[in-house]
Amino acid sequence: MNRLRLFPLANTVLFPGMDLPLVVFEDRYRQLVAECLAESEPFGVVLIKEGREVGGGAVTHPVGTTARLRSVQPAADGRLQVVARGERRFRIIEPYLDRPYLSARVEYPVDEISPLSEASVERARASYRQIERLRQTMEGLYTRDSRMPESPGALADAIAATTAVVIGPERLQALLEMFDIRQRLDAASELLGDVVELTHRRAQMVVAQRWGGIERRN
């Protein structure tokens, strides 16, 4: 039986390959983290459909992403500073309420592979490269090549993770639930237009402020 511990979140959709920082302060989720560490197991991140993160009774979307703990740092106030990384999609089959936190029996769907044109994949790659260059400009980091996801499915997920700071969680959840790779890549590419424009404007502002600061110091 595939039983998975669940960590519901109100405004975050996790995709495979995406890093997820968390501040864990509820006892039930500190227990979840401790058990995952002790048993070297992932937990599942799911978007809340109804209810709140704190307390019980939240209703979640049926599809989420498993997350593997990468670092856990205790804070002085008892909280845990956690970083996890998304691994693979899952679908909830049956929720369980016999533990302090939510858990569920899950299945791991296999992607459906529809014919993809090389032109559409290359357009998505070009847009992803543009976003990465703009992000590097804003952060002041300049590398010759960004790590390009190899498969179209991974590329779609990487695009979605890049747009997560701009696109609302419900639209991202709809993309997470697409198991047809062509449909997922097309939907992810559609998100990039507005994101590229917004990121371009932000990059221009950052560069202007950076060079303006240099001029004032001279």
pLDDT digits (tens, 9 = 90+) for 15-24: 999 999 999 9
Q: What is the pLDDT of residues 89-113, one digit of tens each?
A: 999 999 998 999 999 999 999 888 7
Domains, the chain, ordered by start: 3-107 (2.30.130.40), 118-217 (no CATH)
Torsion of Cα atoms, 47 then 49 then 51 then 53, to 10°: 10
- pTM comes to 0.82
Buried (b) or exposed (e) across 147-178, using 16+ Cβ within 10 A? eebeebbebbbbbbbbbbeebebeebbebbbb
Share of the chain above pLDDT 70, in %: 80
Confidence of residue 216 (pLDDT cuts 50, 70, 90): very low
| Helices vs. strands in the chain: H and E counts, helices first | 5, 7
